[in-house]
Structures are given as structure tokens and as C-alpha cells.
Chains A and B, each alone.
Chain A
Amino acid sequence: MSVPVRVRNLEKNFGRYPALRGVSLNVEAGELVALLGPSGSGKTTLLRAIAGLEQPDAGQVLFGDIDANSLSLRERRIGFVFQQYALFKHMKVFDNIAFGLRARPRASRPSEAAIKAKVLELLHLVQLDGLEARYPAQLSGGQRQRVALARALAIEPRVLLLDEPFGALDARVRKDLRKWLRELHQRTGHTTLFVTHDQDEAFELANRIAILDHGRIEQVGTAAEILDRPATPFIDSFIEGIARRNADQQSREWTKPHVVVSR
């Protein structure tokens, strides 16, 4: 199911402002990678370019062996979770999750019964059993986030992209969801990229971390690699906080390599 993602020399300008200046990145199948950087570093643009929501000026995105440019948005089959969830306000939770399945061309559209089974299975997976008849407005922030994730997973995506998945949540919910997301990733094994500006989040969740600044990737590596050998002075100062907290807590949990489960 999962495919590796390769990004080659991606460039993107907004007017005269360069958002991406030659970004290359390899993500292995089933890997969980964080795109970390200060605001304006280009991390969200990179994510949206991979998704196909932004058209890069130059460069290439490959899903496995397939050039993403040759695929329409529909054919890309990418699960995208938006920062503000972007749930369909006028639809119940059930219809939100079923949307992607119902939007398929008639020939490949599952039966309503199959859709129902799939939606209920996903609701169970994201631990929202019984909430299918609610409207998004009737859910908490964390619940909405999980609906958004279930909706993205419903189309059996090649790749899962998450834009600041916990950005709008308060600290406590955030911590719980972080743990939960990592467990979910271990279970489903999707190639996953997520954008964050929160170092703790990146270092705790990801197999590898790509740190961006001014539209360039400054360093890619595991948490340990980055902490031990920061590649540039920028990285050094950017991860300073983490290193200190880390030293204080003497906790090394996040450096443990994860077992990547491929399906």
C-alpha cells in the first residue's frame, strides 16, 4: 500500500518571494517524517506541493516510480489532513468520512453497505464509535482532528500528509494525540509526512526529521543524528531548546528506532 516519496529539486515562488529553493527529500515507504522549521521556512509549501495543491515552478515529485505530475489530484490518492481540519460543516461525521468513497467514479464506487462498514471501521480505529451522527460543530477539537484523519484514511491513501496536525489543540490534548498518532502509524504503516513548528512534537513522533529554513532543507536525519551533529549554526540554535530539555530529563525515548511496519 505505502510507497516511497521522492522530492527532487523542488522550486516554488510566490510572486518574487521564493518559498522553496531546490528542495530534495527521500521518504521511505512506511516512514514517518517531520517537516520542521520556523514559520515562513517553506515547510507547508513543501507539503502542499507534494499533495498537488501547489504547482511547483520546477522539480519533480515521485510516488514510487510514478511522476506525480502525470497524476490528477484524484489519481494521486493522498490523504491530507488540514491544519484547521477542513471538515465539511454541513455534513455529519459519517458523511464526512464517506465523502471520498462516494466521490469515486461510479465504476469503482463501493456499495453503500460497503461504505458503511468502512466508515464504522474507521470510526472505531480513531476511537470515535457512536459519534457518526454528529455534526463537526458538536465535536471537540481533538475529536474533529481524528475525524479528519479517518476521512483521509478512507480513500486508502498512498501517502498521508498532515499540516500542523495538532496546531489548534491545547497542550494536554496534543500530548495524548501525539502518542495515539504514533501508535496508529505503527498499526497502519502509511508513508507519512507531517508539518510542525514544534520541536518536541517532531523529535518525539518522527522516524526522521527534515529541518527547513528559508525554503531550503538544512538537515535531514534521525533525532539522534541531528542532536549529536547539527549540520549548521542555524540547526544548532534551532534545536537548542530540545537539547537542553533533553539533557535535563535524561530521556532518550525518542531516539529509539521504530520498527517500520509495511503492509
Chain B
Amino acid sequence: MAMSDRFLPLAHAPERATSETAFTKVVLIGIAVLFLVAILFLPLVTVFVEALRKGWGTLFENFGDPDTLSAIRLTLLVAAIAVPFNAVVGLAASWCIAKFEFKGRNLLLTLIDLPFSISPVISGLVYVLLFGAQGWLGPWLSAHDIQIIFAVPGIVLATVLVTFPFVARELIPLMQSQGTSEEEAALMLGASGWHTFFKVTLPNVKWALLYGVLLCNARAMGEFGAVSVVSGHIRGLTNTMPLHIEILYNEYNFVGAFAVASLLTGLALITLLAKTLLEWRFAGELAAKAHRH
């Protein structure tokens, strides 16, 4: 869990620390800060500077564009389906993997990692091969007048696939380290399976779950590659925000492109802020957990 790193004990400098190691420390910190500014901070600032190049008025005008509105709506829709889906399925999969021994467990674990290890473009192409007019299920789908790729269902599927590992990857290591004894204790005390899950399992992983959901959400809204392959790029219909940004950029509408980009970035920053606020709000509880043993 990424948030736990702040609770790691600070590395103690060796007793014989010399000025040389202090110097090294300063240099290393300096490099890290410089790197962060150059790689993370500057590009972030650029997005907003470019978006505001022609002033606030133009910025808001761009948000009023019907194609832009449709891209925003589609992105939110896709995230609203993909994120809860992946949260529930990811939780269930993690639970199976972490709490039970069964045949095919390792296979399932590998499958969960698969979307991370293959390129998103391939994730998109898989669906084209499956659901495309020339694909395996294509003839059946077109006979029943079902459109999956180059339509919203395909975009949702591709997003679900690409963002699937985020929740499960956060939860599995934590659940494994927690073991099953608390669940066993709950069951021995007479709790039903659901009661055990909601009162014991879920509270124990809620921070990891939240973190996974936030990461999943950020990626779901920002996914480009896989979605690009299955989108068909129909303006006002199958363009998500990232695709719409590319189109605006290619149309020399740089302010428009960066306006949408700033909105997308803003959504990501809000996500981060939400996470930070929640962490701060529940700091006491977190600290209590971190200091056990």
C-alpha cells in the first residue's frame, strides 16, 4: 500500500556519518527535487498555461462546444461503469486469491496482471478481433444487430480490461499479509459470510480499496491507447476526453485541446485531493493500524 510508506521508520544515518555522506544526501535530494519539477510539475503547469493562453472566456467557451461536452459525458459514463465494476470484481478476485487455496489460483493471479504487461493497443485490438465485423463473434453480433466496438460498449470493455488490475493489485498483497484469522474469528463468533465480509474483511482493506479505486478511476478517465483502437473516433459520439484532446490538437485548436486537457488534469487532481483529504480525516485510525506490533 503506497500510503504506508510515510509510516516507515526513517532510515537512521549511521553513527559515523561524515560530511561526505551529508553532501551525498544533499546532492541526491537535489536531483530528486529537480527531477520532480522537470518531469512532473512543469508539464502540469504547461497544461494550465496553454489552456489559459487566450483567457478564461475562451476556456469556458471551449467547454460549451457540443463535441467537447459529449466527450466529457462519455468519459464520465465510462468511468462510472468501469470503476465500480472493477472495484467489485477486483475485490472478489482478490478475496478468492488471498483467502483461499484452489486449483488455478496462480493462473488467475497471472491473468489479473495481464492487462499491465500487455500494451493497451493490444487490449483494444483483442476486442476488435473478437467483436469486429471480421472477428470471431462479428457475424453473430451483426446478425443480431449488436454493435460493440466503435460504440460505447466497446469503449467500456476496453477501459474495464485496461484498468482491471488496479484494485486487485492493491488488495491482494494486503489481504495475503492479513491472513484469514480475523475472518475465521468472525465466523466462529457466529457471523454470517456477508456480515464477516462487510464488518471485518472490507474495513481491513478499505484504504487499499480506496486507493485502488482512485488509481483505477484516474486511468479509466485517462486511457487512450485501448480506447483509441475501439472508438472509431466518431465526433460527439465515441470520442472520450483523451481522444477529443488529440483531435482538437490535430485541428490546430490548441487552446481547445489544452482546455479539455486542463479539465482532465483537474479531475485527476481532484481525485488526488479527495484521497489526501480522506487520509487526513482518518489519520488517527490509520496511525493506530500502522503502529500495531
Contacts and interface: CB of A to CB of B under 8 A. Distances in A.
Report if A and B touch in the complex (beta carbons < 8 A): yes
B184 A86 contact: yes
Interface in A130-183: 135-138, 151-152, 154-155
B277 interface: no
A132 to B, nearest CB: 15
A137 B289 CA distance: 7
A87 B188 CA distance: 12
B191 interface: yes
Interface string B40-65: 00000000000000000000000000
Main secondary structure of the interface of B (DSSP, over half): helix
B190 A86 contact: no
B190 A155 contact: yes
A82 interface: yes
Contacts of B182: 86-89
A86 B181 contact: yes
B292 A89 contact: yes
Contacts of B289: 89-90, 137
A99 B186 contact: yes
Contact of A73 (B181, B188, B291): B188
Main secondary structure of the interface of A (DSSP, over half): mixed
Interface residues of A, number: 27
B13 to A, nearest CB: 29
Interface in B159-205: 181-182, 184-192, 195, 199-200, 203-204
A77 interface: yes
A67 B209 CA distance: 41
B190 A74 contact: yes
A104 interface: yes
B251 interface: no
A40 to B, nearest CB: 19
A137 B189 contact: no
A135 B288 contact: yes
A80 interface: yes
B36 to A, nearest CB: 34
B285 interface: yes
Given A82-B181, A84-B181, A137-B292, A90 B285 contact: yes
Given A90-B285, A137-B288, A53 B189 contact: no
B222 to A, nearest CB: 32
Interface string B281-293: 0000100110110
A100 interface: yes
B188 A103 contact: no
Given A137-B291, A155-B190, A82 B203 contact: no
A236 to B, nearest CB: 35
B204 A90 contact: yes
Contacts of B188: 51, 53, 73, 78-80, 152
A155 B203 CA distance: 23
Contacts of B186: 88, 99, 103
A135 B290 CA distance: 12
B190 A100 contact: yes
B47 to A, nearest CB: 39
Contacts of A136: 292
Nearest to A80: B188
Nearest to B204: A90
Interface in A68-121: 73-74, 77-80, 82, 84, 86-90, 99-100, 103-104
Contacts of B190: 73-74, 77, 100, 103-104, 155
Nearest to A14: B101
A82 B285 contact: no
Nearest to A83: B181
A82 B184 contact: yes
Nearest to A138: B288
B181 A100 contact: no
Contact of B189 (A90, A138, A151): A151
Contacts of B187: 53, 73-74
B191 A99 contact: yes
A88 B200 contact: yes
Nearest to A108: B190
A92 to B, nearest CB: 10
A44 to B, nearest CB: 12
Contacts of A87: 182, 185
Contacts of A88: 182, 185-186, 199-200, 203
8 contacts: A74-B191, A82-B184, A89-B204, A90-B204, A99-B199, A100-B190, A103-B190, A136-B292
Interface of A: 51, 53, 73-74, 77-80, 82, 84, 86-90, 99-100, 103-104, 135-138, 151-152, 154-155
Interface of B: 181-182, 184-192, 195, 199-200, 203-204, 285, 288-289, 291-292
Given A53-B188, A90-B204, A103-B186, 14 more contacts: A53-B184, A73-B190, A74-B187, A74-B192, A80-B185, A82-B181, A82-B185, A88-B200, A88-B203, A99-B186, A100-B190, A103-B190, A138-B288, A151-B185
Q: 7 tightest A-B contacts by CB?
A: A100-B189, A103-B191, A86-B181, A137-B292, A86-B185, A80-B188, A74-B190
